[in-house]
Amino acid sequence: MLKKIFLFIFIGGIFYLFGAVTVHYKLFPFSEIVKIRNYFKGDKNISPYYLSKVSQFSELKGSDKFSIVMIGDSITDGAEWYELLKNNEVQNRGIGGDTTKGILDRLDTINKSIKKVFIMIGINDIAGYKRVDEIYNNYIKILEDLERKDIKVYIQSVLYVGKNYPNSDYFNKEVKNLNKKLEQIAKNKNIDFIDLNSIFAPNDYLEKIYTDDEIHLNGKAYILWANEILKYIE
């Protein structure tokens, strides 16, 4: 009995020490772990928001008034694209918390009238500790699906996080590795690669003037982003 008590105390001490060190040195992005748990605990549909969005997109896919779609996660979702681009043929198909696998699973909700897709996705995969090769393979599948539908694709770089974001060095190392692969596949397939990090993160960290939380963009950033997109749709 005494041995069991000592064993219990010993194991508890290890967990306490691990937790204290992890929090103190910010070894893991806890905000993202919570996000991933809420959104992707076995099934992304655990999020009512995600389920609602996909359901709406499915019901609305019959419209033929749109020719351009912005697709991605919360960074895309957060923009008023038709106003930013002054174009009522632009759809916003971003969903907060989405991943490359999520995009792949909902490609059938893209309207048949769509001619151009601007995609930015991957930061939530990295937050979920997905390997870059796995993320890249999902990208390949996404591109192949869109190519079969004769849709012109524009790959946008996954954005770096700010320097003060938890575990930012881990995030940005993975972002850099992923972007290198995306830029290469874009070159191989003769697809435009839009490097937004050259604007928002010239020093490999998202600049403070473009974000309020070290990861999402503010209004100033969206204006600049829209100006880049306009180069490809005007």
pLDDT in tens, 148-190: 999 999 999 999 999 999 999 999 999 999 999 999 999 999 9
In this prediction, residue 234 carries a pLDDT of 78
In this prediction, residue 3 carries a pLDDT of 57
How many domains, the chain? 1
Q: What residues make up the domain containing 53?
A: 26-233
What is the pLDDT averaged over residues 105-131? Answer: 97
Do the domain assignments include residue 20? no
Query: Nearest Cα to 159, choosing from 230, 53, 79?
Result: 79
Do the domain assignments include residue 167? yes
Average of per-residue pLDDT values in the chain: 88
Do the domain assignments include residue 55? yes
Give the model's confidence band at 45: pLDDT under 50 very low, under 70 low, under 90 confident, else very high: very low
Structure tokens at 22: 């992890």
Distance (Å, rounded) from C-alpha 155 to C-alpha 190?
11
The beta-carbon contacts of 201-210 under 8 Å, at least 24 apart in sequence, are 201/159, 201/160, 204/160, 204/172, 204/176, 205/160, 205/161, 205/162, 205/163, 205/168, 205/172, 206/159, 206/160, 206/161, 206/162, 206/165, 207/162, 208/162
The beta-carbon contacts of 3-8 under 8 Å, at least 24 apart in sequence, are none
Do the domain assignments include residue 148? yes
Do the domain assignments include residue 95? yes
Do the domain assignments include residue 171? yes
Q: Is 15 a residue whose pLDDT tops 70?
A: no
Residue 103 · residue 71 · CB < 8 Å: yes
Do the domain assignments include residue 84? yes
Which ranges constitute the DSSP H helices of 113-160?
123-127, 132-148
Structure tokens at 40: 């992707």
Distance (Å, rounded) from C-alpha 22 to C-alpha 145?
41
Distance (Å, rounded) from C-alpha 217 to C-alpha 213?
8
Q: Is 71 a residue whose pLDDT tops 70?
A: yes
Give the model's confidence band at 142: pLDDT under 50 very low, under 70 low, under 90 confident, else very high: very high
pTM of the model: 0.82
For position 32, which CATH number holds?
3.40.50.1110
Residue 64 · residue 113 · CB < 8 Å: yes
Alpha carbon distances (Å) from 208 to 72, 79, 137? 22, 18, 32
- Amino acid identity of residue 11, one-letter, is I
Do the domain assignments include residue 6? no
> If residue 85 lies in a helix (H) or strand (E), which one and from where to where?
none
Structure tokens at 153: 């694709």
Residue 135 · residue 94 · CB < 8 Å: no
Give the model's confidence band at 47: pLDDT under 50 very low, under 70 low, under 90 confident, else very high: confident
